């Protein structure tokens, strides 16, 4: 279940500045023969026998047409859901073997989520939004605020600590959401179409931020339908009809060829939260 990229990364003990990665590091996430079927009027097999592993410090993009199983994959990787068949290990733990409460704890400890629709609390100012995950980690108020302010500075919003989401542009909101995802210092950052609701320039700035986080040793899994966004990752996993169609190593790709093959096969505008504030994101950063 481990491909060449993972083996390489796992054999390096200097991946990332902030995180130590032992030579025989376990994958942050390991999916083995995972099938996910949604029961309903008609059962839908959203994922079929998928095996994929994310090495510590790796940066992976997932592409595929609408309905190919990308969000289902992210939900399983982030322990928001459990597989119908096969095993999902998050930080070595089989998520299906955990109680609901333990799964939530594992998620809070290990995973930071970034959604297309930002999902910020409208009544909370930026620093409170970012500090929110720390409330559940039992971090005291003063330290929460200090850490949240640090993170907001890191994403370039040190001068917007007291602003509510409605007082921020789309790009600024997404940066608040990224800071919030990082609050609990998660090993893994999951992003579902993080640039889907921002303009091209803002999207580029958000991708620069992900590149910095990758440099700092974070493990990133990013879903996108835009090829030029996916190319920021080390590899691109292509999904179709719930199966992995192929895994492309971006670092090996001919940059000329890659930039010419713009991917226009997917126009899914909605993330898992349904794109509720899709119209207010097109602001300047």
- The residues of the shown chain that bind ligand ADP, judged by CB under 6 A, are 38, 40, 44, 46, 64, 66-72, 268
Q: Which stretch binds Mg ion (CB under 5 A): 64-72, 94-102, 134-142, 168-176?
A: 64-72
Binding site partner of 119, from Mg ion, ligand ADP, none, Cβ cut-off 5-8 A by kind: none
Name the burial class of residue 281, with classes exposed (0-12), middle (13-18) and buried (19+) by CB atoms within 10 angstroms of its CB.
buried
CA angle 132, 137, 143 (to 5 degrees): 70
What is the distance between the alpha carbons of residues 32 and 104, in angstroms, rounded to a whole number? 21
Residue with smaller CB distance to Mg ion, 67 or 217: 67
Q: List, in sequence order, the alpha helices (H) in 155-254.
A: 170-182, 200-215, 227-230
Name which of ligand ADP, Mg ion, none residue 40 binds, using a CB cut-off of 5 to 8 Å depending on partner kind: ligand ADP
Q: 3-state DSSP: the chain helix, strand, coil percent, rounded to 5?
A: 35, 20, 45
Nearer to Mg ion, 112 or 271 (CB): 271
161 binds, among Mg ion, ligand ADP, none (CB under 5 to 8 A by kind): none
Using CB under 5 A as the binding rule, the residues of this chain from 185 to 214 that contact Mg ion are none
Q: Are 226 and 258 in contact (CB under 8 A)?
A: no
Residue with Cβ nearer Mg ion (5 or 115): 115
- CB 116, min distance to ligand ADP, A: 11
Is position 72 an interface residue for Mg ion (rule: CB under 5 A)?
no
Q: How many angstroms separate the CA atoms of 57 and 2, rounded? A: 15
- Residue closer to ligand ADP by CB (options 86, 133) is 86
Q: Which of ligand ADP, Mg ion, none does 96 bind, CB closer than 5 to 8 A by kind?
A: none
Nearest residue to Mg ion, scored by beta-carbon proximity: 71
H/E run at residue 260: helix 255-260
* Phi, psi angles (nearest 5°) of residue 128: -75, -40
Residues 6+ apart with CB under 8 A from 202: 169, 170, 171, 174, 195, 283, 284, 285
Does the protein bind Mg ion through residue 71 (CB under 5 A)? yes
CB of 73 to ligand ADP, least distance (A): 7
Q: Give which of ligand ADP, Mg ion, none residue 224 binds (C-beta under 5 to 8 Å, depending on kind).
A: none
For ligand ADP, the closer CB: 147 or 227 = 227
Strand partners, 190: 113, 221
Choice between 70 and 214, CB closer to ligand ADP: 70
Give 108-135 as a DSSP string.
HHHEEEEETT----TTS-HHHHHHHHHH
Chain positions contacting Mg ion, by CB under 5 A: 70-71
């Amino acid at each position: 279940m481990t491909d060449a990229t993972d083996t390489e990364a796992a054999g390096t003990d200097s991946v990332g500045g902030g995180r130590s990665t032992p030579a025989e590091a376990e994958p942050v996430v390991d999916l083995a023969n995972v099938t996910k079927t949604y029961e309903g009027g008609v059962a839908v097999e959203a994922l079929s026998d998928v095996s994929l592993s994310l090495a510590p410090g790796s940066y992976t993009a997932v592409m595929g047409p609408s309905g190919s199983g990308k969000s289902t994959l992210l939900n399983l990787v982030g322990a928001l859901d459990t597989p119908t068949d096969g095993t999902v290990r998050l930080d070595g733990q089989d998520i299906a073997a955990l109680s609901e409460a333990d799964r939530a704890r594992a998620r809070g400890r290990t995973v930071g989520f970034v959604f297309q629709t930002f999902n910020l609390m409208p009544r909370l100012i930026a620093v409170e939004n970012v500090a929110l995950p720390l409330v559940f980690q039992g971090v005291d108020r003063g330290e929460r605020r200090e850490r949240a302010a640090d993170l907001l500075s890191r994403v370039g919003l040190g001068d917007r600590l007291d602003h509510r989401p409605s007082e921020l542009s789309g790009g600024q909101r997404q940066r608040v959401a990224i800071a919030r995802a990082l609050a609990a210092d998660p090993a893994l950052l999951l992003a579902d179409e993080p640039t889907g609701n921002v303009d091209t320039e803002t999207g580029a700035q958000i991708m620069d931020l992900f590149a910095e986080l990758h440099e700092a040793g974070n493990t990133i899994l990013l879903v996108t339908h835009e090829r030029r966004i996916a190319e920021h990752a080390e590899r691109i996993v292509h999904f179709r009809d719930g199966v992995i169609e192929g895994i492309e190593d971006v670092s090996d790709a001919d940059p000329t060829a890659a930039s010419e093959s713009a991917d226009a096969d997917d126009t899914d505008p909605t993330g898992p939260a349904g794109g509720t504030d899709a119209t207010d994101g097109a602001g300047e950063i």
